[in-house]
Amino acid sequence: MRIGLAMLAAAALWAPQAWAQVPDDDDQSLVDEIVVTGAMAVRQGGAQDINHFRGQAASFHIPMPDTLTAEGLMGDYDLTLQTAGAPCARMFCVAAESMRASLADRPDDRVLVGLGFGTNIDAATWKRQPLNLVAVVDKSGSMDGEPLDLVRKSLRQIVGQLKAGDQISIVLYGDTSAVHLAPTAIDGAGRRRALAAIDKIESAGSTNMEEGLRVGYDTAFASAGAFRGATRVMLFTDERPNVGGTDAESFMGMAQEASARRVGLTTIGVGVQFDAALATRISSVRGGNLYFMRDEKDVEAVFSKKLDTMVSELAYDLALRLKPNPGYRISGVYGVPADMLVAGPEGEVSVTVPTAFLSTEGGGLFVGLARAEAARNLPEPDLAGAPLMQVNLSYVSALDGSAASDALSVAAPAGAPGANLALGHALVDEYLSLQKATSLFHQDGDEEGAYQTFRQLASRLEANRDARLKPEREMVEVLVAQSARLSGHLGETPRHAAWLDLLGEWEIVRVEGGIDLTRGDRLQLTEDNEAVITRLNGDDEYESFRANNSQLVLDDSNLVFAYRVSAQTLTLTEAETGVELRLKRTSAAE
């Protein structure tokens, strides 16, 4: 199996990953209860990560801009606001904090307001309701191989975590759809039946997602009546429907109708062909959320930590009416899709959040405030004692259907921002720059502009000392390296991604030591982790390779080279044998 270079950007990532096994005790769930002190956190539905975007970047591609969402980027972090007020005393609350804004791609913004979600539900005593889970699995041809392997691993992880009182059923769809496992209670025998059914899932057929969801919802409706607990459909797919209804509106309508009958939809995306834009739209409706699995590590991390909360809806139809101070205007709202925003009179903006879920990590919205157009050339008003913005909130409880409302005033910045608001500011800044850079590259064909935008973002992230931003630094460094090459900036790869400079074609100009290579032979290192040796007689030899920032490993030859690389030269040294190869670049990776 080839190992992606991006997974080796840091040394010592070559050890095999351990995988949790289903426990021998058939009535024992796979993981113990997650212990969280204090109140539960709350997060909006919709996209919960940008794992597909991250995976594309790690595979040396500049991701498409429609695979990026602000709410997904923020979903990887706990953004609970550390406000000075009293803790939330209601089922659902909104807290506010503000700070001076410094957004590279929004220079007119003066203030960033965080609107954090909260609840009074005690994490120490909360238990999720019994779960009636209907897994709807895409088994079409495009899911063959690794995508379907990840689905089977996901289902085994879920079955291992389900508890007595839960039940699961499985629907498979391809050309046609059918119930693969009828509703099965999770007890000793039921758990074994579910695992056996998972092992029998095989790929075949086209992708009639519409029919698959319809059979899944019918199964959910039929089983929900006699079940005391929550019923939820979980769709496992690469979101590439090609038979039946294929438009987002059809699937969104089904999900909205099901939510009205108290059946929510969690989408689990897999595969390099994943249609992130379609999945994001479907998951943005009432009762919906979305996760993407790149590998086994994601499967274990997401389900072990978040299964209980991803199926636990707290509130529906959140409506926030934001009214800024007359001297300011709302320049952006981050944390919901754009079609959830409506401009109103006097600069008001109405925001709809279809669903809020319980969570172990807090979510919320971020609102940018710029000077009002009429006041752009006037001195900034003194905001001491005056509110920046008024917020009016209404929602419907998912627990008992009751309606509630609230209101609060957002105060002007006072002192240094809390750590999580500052983190949110950094993520908003990153989102705006990633959106700009990927749009410049794909929509405008401006490779130089994309490179400069990525490079400047990398510099700002490097200057930010928040250790939590390490994944962002690493991802953006890869994007800088790839865009540098594509825009003609060879030799300007960031030091933490130096291994990317190995990619391309090299000609051997000097050989020292005993190795079956000669001057004039060529070595090509591809983005697919393939090393191609072309000898002077025209013969080609192929093997896989791995690399980090100091070593190049040829797997079949069992050789480990230390390397030094520049824009035009490469030196490979094998310590055990004393072999040294010197090469010159003949072409760079495209």
Rounded to an integer, what distance in angstroms lies between the CA atom of residue 451 and that of residue 440? 9
Written as six digits, the tokens of 434 are: 């990633």
Alpha-carbon span 530 to 5, nearest angstrom? 10
Query: Helix, strand or coil for residue 280?
Result: helix
114: nearest Cα among 384, 408, 420, 351 = 420
* Residues 172, 166: Cα–Cα separation, whole Å: 20
> Using one digit for the tens of pLDDT, what is the confidence trace for 44-103?
999 999 999 999 998 888 999 999 999 999 999 999 997 766 788 899 999 999 999 999
347: left (phi over 0), alpha (psi -120 to 50) or beta: left
Q: Among residues 474, 430, 458, which one has the least CA distance to residue 7?
A: 474
d(CA 261, CA 254): 11
HSE, CB side, 13 Å, CA atoms: give it for residue 237. 33
Is 213 in a helix, a strand, or coil?
A: helix
Half-sphere exposure of 334 (CA within 13 A, CB side): 27
Strands 559-565 and 530-534: unpaired
Residues of the chain with pLDDT > 90, as a percent, come to 69
The pLDDT value given to residue 48: 95
Please list the residues that pair with 364 across neighbouring strands: 116
pLDDT value at residue 1 = 25
- Strands, E, within 217-308: which ranges? 230-237, 263-269, 288-292
- Asked if residue 445 has pLDDT above 50, the reply is yes
- Closest alpha carbon to 272 in 251, 248, 293, 296: 293
Q: What's the pLDDT score for residue 141?
A: 87
Q: How confident is the model over 266-292, as pLDDT tens digits?
A: 999 998 888 888 888 889 999 999 999
Residue with tokens 């931003």: 469
575: tokens are: 């310590």
Give the CATH number of domain 87-124+314-420: 2.60.40.1170
Per-residue pLDDT at 375: 65
- Give me the pLDDT at residue 17, please: 27
What confidence score (pLDDT) does residue 115 get? 96
Q: Structure tokens of 479?
A: 């994007």
In three state form, how does the secondary structure of 385-451 look?
CCEEEEEEEEEEECCCCCEEEEEEEEECCCCCCCHHHHHHHHHHHHHHHHHHHHHHHHCCCCHHHHH
Where does 503-588 sit in CATH, by number? 2.40.128.270
Q: How far apart are CA 344 and CA 329, in angstroms?
A: 12
pLDDT of 10 strictly over 70: no
**H or E element at residue 454:** helix 447-463
Q: Tell me how far apart the alpha carbons of residues 310 and 289 are, in angstroms, rounded to a whole number.
A: 8
DSSP state of 266: E
| Residue pLDDT, tens place only, 135-167 | 999 999 889 899 999 999 999 999 999 999 999
The per-residue pLDDT for range 516-566, each reduced to its tens digit, is 899 999 999 987 789 999 999 889 999 989 888 789 998 888 889 999 988
Distances, alpha carbon 312 to alpha carbons 95, 126, 136, 142, 197, in Å: 21, 11, 19, 31, 26
Give the SS3 label for residue 452: helix
Q: What is the pLDDT of residue 382?
A: 66
Higher-confidence residue: 275 or 572?
572
Among all chains, which residue has been given the structure tokens 């905001």? 383
**Kind and range of the H or E element at 133?**
strand 131-138
- The identity of residue 363, as a single letter, is G
CB atoms within 10 A of CB 409: 12
Q: What CA–CA distances, in Å, run from 280 to 75, 127, 277, 290?
A: 13, 28, 5, 7
Instruction: Output the pLDDT for position 377.
Output: 66
In sequence order, the 6+-apart residues with CB closer than 8 A to the CB of 374 are none
Residue 229 reports pLDDT greater than 90: yes
Residue 167 has what pLDDT?
Answer: 97
* Predicted local distance difference test score (pLDDT) of residue 376: 67
Rounded to 10 degrees, what is the CA torsion of 547, 549, 550, 553? 0
Instruction: List the beta bridge partners of residue 374.
Output: none
Q: Say which DSSP state 92 is in.
A: S
Specify the pLDDT at position 218: 97
Site of tokens 């700070």:
99
Domain 87-124+314-420 and domain 503-588 have a common topology: no
Q: What is the largest CA-CA distance in the chain?
A: 82
The answer to whether residues 408 and 58 touch, using CB atoms and an 8 Å cutoff, is: no
Kindly report the number of other CB atoms within 10 A of residue 327's CB atom: 19
Tell me the pTM. 0.82
DSSP 8-state symbol, 481: H
Please name which of 476, 449, 451 lies closest in space to residue 462, comparing C-alpha atoms: 476
CATH 3.40.50.410 fits 129-311, yes or no: yes
Query: What angle, rounded to 10 degrees, do the helices at 296-310 and 146-161 form?
Result: 40
pLDDT at 490: 67
Task: Report the distance separating Cα 484 and Cα 55, nearest Å.
Answer: 19
Name residue 121's beta-bridge partners: none
pLDDT of residue 181: 97
User: 86: Cβ–Cβ under 8 A, 6 or more apart, which residues?
Assistant: none
Q: Does 380 have pLDDT greater than 90?
A: no
pLDDT of residue 11: 29
pLDDT value, residue 37: 47
Provide the residue ranges of all domains of the chain, joining segments of one domain with +: 87-124+314-420, 129-311, 421-497, 503-588
HSE value, Cβ hemisphere, 13 Å, CA-based, for 285? 22
Q: How far is CA 589 from CA 54, 204, 501, in A?
A: 20, 35, 9
For the chain, the helix, strand and coil percentages under 3-state DSSP, each to the nearest 5: 30, 30, 35
